[in-house]
Structure 1
């Protein structure tokens, strides 16, 4: 029994071994046949090569342009005010909103009757004061003559006293006569004092009369000025705004009746961030007169000054652009307009301009290395100019970099570089690659028949445009 069991076990192992050898032979034969077929799984997969536009980095000198937005302001604007109240009797035909006036032109006339009456009264007061001054001067002359006569009387009384004393000394006179002469002299001296007082009063009256004449002259000048102010004239040349006057309207003193704006003197107030302002400041800390262009209008100007302080609730810096006088600026711009401002910064040397898509989020470029494989290199981004960036070239001079990054490109990827002007951007295709792309196009059910026919015609040639190849590769995911 033991011999029979061992024999059956050996037979079973032999059959199992032969079965495994047969299965292995079948698998090996299938693998050999599959490897002999063209395009079979036995062939190594061809590396996918993506076409990409490249350019050579060359250091150049570039003038960056800072783009901001500002508000147009009038550098010279004048509010017309009525200096006195009155009734409007005449308004100039050109004193209307939007029309232009010249400096010194009469715009409005108020009723002059009250001012004329005040002028007549002032003239009468001046004549009266002048007459009083003349009378006072004559009174001074008379007072001086009266004083001279009194002084002469004193001399005579003193001489008479001396004679009476001499007569009394000889014994021929009397003491009563001497006393009478002394009293007469004293009365004469008292009269001199009275005349001097009268003269002083007359001279003071002259001074008061002169003051009255001066006051009357001032009042007359004020009346004449008030009469002249019934005519409101343009203080400068410019355009009129804010007028709503008609003859017969009443205006009050200091009331604004209109505004004149000089269109040849306009500024643009531009608010910049502190970082942007720092780019415009020179080594000496002063704001340079950088050239400025206003958006699509093509108007020019210059950076003139910066505000002295930051307004409450605001940030950054307010700078002012002085526009160059021109008929176009006067016609296109008005105070209050919101405009785009392009300010030229100081030039930068050793830089290159690249599309913004060329720089990755980590601040790197994809440079072409040996074997047309990509290498990720860091780069210094100096400015962002719309869809472009300005990068520092330095040691990267002469290196070729990818112009547009995509999800298909990265470190170590082999690309087919498409250089500017090289064969109008045509990329050669191998037979296998062409067959793969033809199959891709024919299998795309969503593609229009016209576009499909056009692509198949392009694929029949030996090379296709790089843009077309990139679109097709995008459909396959690389």
Structure 2
């Protein structure tokens, strides 16, 4: 039994060694035959160039602000007596509404005192006017008396010349005339004093009226009113609170006077201006993205910032919102979209079709790719607008990949009539095409067993996935 087992073991070892030798011979024999090399063909989507007139859209981002805002500040210090019922953050108020009323006791007392001073000044003015009238009458009477004294003197002189009058009478007449002149001078001095007192009284009345006006203004300042219709914000006031002069109590914002500020590059700004450098009044759309959709508004370009801030490039533009301002609020971050001047003789292609050097892959003769340079004019989201000398209808690769380049043979995949990619989800294979792909999969030693099994399972179906067919045929080269 032992000899039998030994002989059986040696026989099995000899059979194993023989199988190993035959396997090495077969492998060496297969490796010596050169394999047929075929050109690899890639599949990619192609689109034709269609030239025409395109109106580019410029997209920017900006912030909404109000062009009409008012800070509610206390002009005088005091205690807040009452607040308006609508004095709440976000509440709408009408023009002229009393929002805050301060305690007017001190201002009222100051106004009454100023009113009394005005009355005193008016009384002093009236007295000065009466005194001036009396002084004027005194001057008139003194001048009349002086005239009479002069006539008496002339009569005495006439009598003296005829030898009738005496020298004593003549001297008395001269003294009386001189005294009359002195009385006129005294009355004129009193008239001047009365006029000065009248001017002083008038000045005092003016000063008293100014004081009264100031007191009335301070009394009015105890009431803070809405200068225009708007909404309240940033409120900081409570009843009974003590406020100081110029303390801010809130903001009044006009929700209908809104504008949006956004920044564009210098090149984009040049396309929005007239030849003389003035800004074109172009219409634009304003969109605010929300969870339930978008809030749309309309506006028009109004002005450009007068200076460029340090360290910032481009230009800051302002647009006045003309429609739909009621749904927006100052501080909203919005998207601005406006139409630029139309471009003629240009084409729009996918953005993935052009590389960093502004080159595209053109489908040439024999379905081989050629590189062509184009002029990039605008970027429009996932598309670009170009200008090129290529003839209309020229097909280019819609999406460049690192595997594609000049000279590579391509199997073009063109859009169908509906505009979707030509390859369907599944394709039907004829027996010869199916057998060729199966033979390729079974004879490809570079594939793993799982990959080979997956390809064979797909090829065994009546309708084979189009991705599988395209993948295999790009490797086969057919």
TM-score normalised according to structure 1 size: 0.81
Alpha-carbon distance, 1:303 to partner: 2.6
Among 320, 332, 341, the residue aligned to 1:337: 332
Q: Which residue of 2 aligns with 1:288?
A: 280
CA distance in 2, matches of 1:199, 1:302: 72
Measure, in 1, the Cα distance between the counterparts of 2:310 and 2:344: 39
Query: 2:62, 2:335 within 8 Å by CA — same for their partners in 1?
Result: yes
1:418 is aligned to 413
RMSD: 3.2
Say which is worse superposed, 102-111 or 395-404, in terms of deviation.
395-404
Check the 8 A contact 2:441/2:452 in 1, yes or no: no
Residue 299, structure 1, aligned to residue 297, structure 2: yes
In structure 2, do the counterparts of structure 1 residues 415 and 436 end up closer, same or farther at CA, with 3 Å as the change threshold?
farther
2:219 is aligned, of 221, 224, 227, to 227
1:121-140, aligned counterparts within 5 Å? 121-140=113-132
Measure, in 2, the Cα distance between the counterparts of 1:303 and 1:325: 13
* Aligned 8 A contact 2:233 2:251 in 1: yes
Deviations 1:56-80 (A, max 9, x none): 1110222222333222222111111
Partner of 1:273: 265
- Cα deviation for residue 133 of structure 1 reads 1.2
Which deviations, in whole Å up to 9, do the C-alpha atoms of 1:414-471 show, x marking residues without a partner? 222221116942578634553257658x96656699x86984466x44x753x55455
Query: For the Cα contact (< 8 Å) 1:101–1:234, is it kept in 2?
Result: yes
Task: Tell me which residue corresponds to 1:435.
Answer: 438
CA drift at 1:194? 0.7
1:21 match: none
Return closer, same or farther for 1:121/1:286 CA change in 2, 3 Å cut-off: same
Summarize the Cα distance change of 1:312–1:367 in structure 2 as closer, same or farther, 3 Å threshold. closer
Q: Is the 8 A contact 2:77 2:244 kept in 1?
A: yes
1:271 and 1:317 in contact (8 A); partners too: yes
The structure 2 residue matched to 1:150, chosen from 142, 145, 158, is 142
Counterpart of 2:362 in structure 1 is 367
Question: Is the contact made by 2:437 and 2:473 (CA closer than 8 Å) also made in structure 1?
Answer: no
Q: Which of these residues, 389, 396, 403, is aligned with residue 401 of structure 1?
A: 396
CA deviations 1:355-412 (Å, max 9, x no partner) are 1221133322221222222222222221222322211144332211111122333222
Equivalent-residue separation in structure 2 for 1:190 and 1:359 (angstroms): 114
Q: What pairs up with 1:46-85 in 2 under 5 angstroms? A: 46-85=38-77
**3-state secondary structure, aligned to 1:288:** coil
Q: How does 1:350-389 map to 2 (within 5 A)?
A: 350-389=345-384
- Give the TM-score normalised by structure 2: 0.81
CA displacement at 1:147 relative to structure 2: 1.3
Whole-angstrom CA distance in 1 between matches of 2:299 and 2:412: 44
Please, which moves more after superposition, 76-85 or 298-307?
Answer: 298-307
Q: Identify if the C-alpha distance between structure 1 residues 64 and 454 changes in structure 2 by more than 3 Å, giving closer, same or farther.
A: farther
Distance in 2, matches of 1:104 and 1:303, equals: 32
Structure 1 unaligned spans of 5+: 1-29, 35-39
**In 2 relative to 1, CA 469–202 (structure 1 residues): closer, same or farther, beyond 3 Å?**
farther
1:119 is the counterpart of 2:115: no
Name the structure 2 match of 1:37: none
Do the aligned residues in 2 keep the contact of 1:100 with 1:237 (CA within 8 Å)?
A: yes
Output aligned runs, 1:111-260, within 5 Å.
111-260=103-252
SS in 1 for 2:362: strand
The residue aligned with 1:89 is 81
Size of the alignment, in residue pairs?
Answer: 435
Q: Do 1:438 and 1:456's aligned partners in 2 also have CA atoms closer than 8 Å?
A: no
Q: Does 1:102 align with 2:94?
A: yes
The structural deviation recorded for 1:174 is 1.6
Q: 1:218 and 1:199 mapped to 2: Cα distance? A: 29
Q: Cα deviation per residue 1:22-68 (whole Å; 9 max; x = unaligned)? A: xxxxxxxx9xx99xxxxx97895554332221111110222222333
Alignment match of 2:307 (pick from 309, 329, 351)? 309
Q: What SS does structure 1 have at the residue aligned with 2:201?
A: helix
Instruction: State the 1:270 CA deviation.
Output: 1.6
Deviation at 1:119?
1.4
With over 3 angstroms needed to count, the CA separation of the structure-2 counterparts of 1:447 and 1:42, relative to structure 1, is closer
Contact 2:40 2:476 in 1 (8 A): no
Q: Structure 2 vs 1, CA of residues 373 and 315 (structure 1 numbering), >3 Å: closer, same or farther? A: closer
Tell me the alpha carbon deviations over residues 217-247 of structure 1, each in whole angstroms, 9 at most, x when there is no partner: 2222222222122111011222211211111
Distance 2:455 2:35 in 1: 30
Rounded Cα–Cα distance in structure 2 between residues aligned with 1:121 and 1:444: 107
Q: Secondary structure at the match of 1:396?
A: coil
1:425 match: secondary structure: coil
